[in-house]
Amino acid sequence: MAANRTIQADVALNRAPLATLEDEPRARPGVAARVLRFATHRPLGAISVLIVLTLVLTAIFAPLLAPYDPVQSHPRLKLLAPGEHGFTLGTDEFGRDVLSRIVYGARPSLTAGILATVLGTLVGAAIGLVSGYVGGAADMVIQRAMDAIMAIPGLILLLAVVTILGRPSLLNIIWALCIFIVPSSSRVVRGTVLMVKEQQFVEGARAVGAGWLRILRSHILPNVTAPIIIIASVTIGNAILIEASLSFLGLGVPAPNPTWGNMLAAGGRRWFEQQPTLALIPGAAITLTVLAFNLLGDALRDQFDPRLRGT
């Protein structure tokens, strides 16, 4: 009775009832508002996004940004310091422009890191979804296979795969990184699936006769998407670092094509005392890229994890 009197009084005073005001849907914030909110709450994440976008655009538009041909040598202009004779970052032991090689070196590093991470994470996620949902003997066999791969030291596994695939190339590195990434992605997704499949909404879907494929696609996959995105964002940085390590060992993109790893292995290692920038510049590029992707992964984890949204 008291509630009815309150609503009647509101109507008499030309005011909307309180119940009507509470039931009105709230407008969702626009894209610009959400981007601003993310930048305000996750400043390191916003900075990492800017760095990653800059690196990607640099790799895409390398022919427009590089002042010289990255493989063109100038024999009379070897080992120049940064700024000499118009070379912004100097030249290497063959007289090649270091800035142009850094710009072009972003291409194989980002290609290997991003493409291998996407393929490896998707394959690992698919294996983890099926393994975690089916369970039983199939789950045991799949997980023991993943354990066998993870038991091999990472660098030994990568060296073995690259050697088996043949001569060093960017494609072989991508395949080796995929094999390296699949087991860890599979384990993380499987653990999430084991928790989600016991929830009541999954049991309800089974009760109404939904098939396993529909349950995986419509009910379980949306709930493991956030962990998959977080795994991928963190793994990209590690993949780029591994690609640089393989190139440093001579198992990456063959010379004279520039990569940050073979720049460290060639001029950076042999001429460090005479020209330290040959090692410091590609090393800084690798460090900045890996740091940006790791910060991006932390920001995405904080954004998607409900327990960390208020921190």
Read off the pLDDT of residues 168-209 as tens digits, 9 standing for 90 and up. 788 888 888 898 899 988 888 888 888 887 777 777 777 777
Q: Which of 99, 45, 108 is nearest to 240 (CA)?
A: 108
Residue identified by tokens 């940004």 is 65
Q: Which of 102, 107, 100 is nearest to 86 (CA)?
A: 100
pLDDT tops 60 at residue 21: no
**pLDDT at site 60:** 92
Helix (H) / strand (E) containing 115: helix 98-134
Residue identified by tokens 């696609």 is 217
Integer Cα distance of 230 and 294 in angstroms: 10
Rg of the chain, C-alpha, whole Å: 26
| Cβ contact 214:130 at 8 Å | no
Q: Which of 264, 269, 267, 270 is nearest to 283 (CA)?
A: 264
pTM recorded for the entire structure: 0.77
Confidence of residue 38 (pLDDT cuts 50, 70, 90): low
pLDDT tops 50 at residue 274: yes
Total residue length of the chain? 311
Neighbours of 99 (CB within 10 A): 19
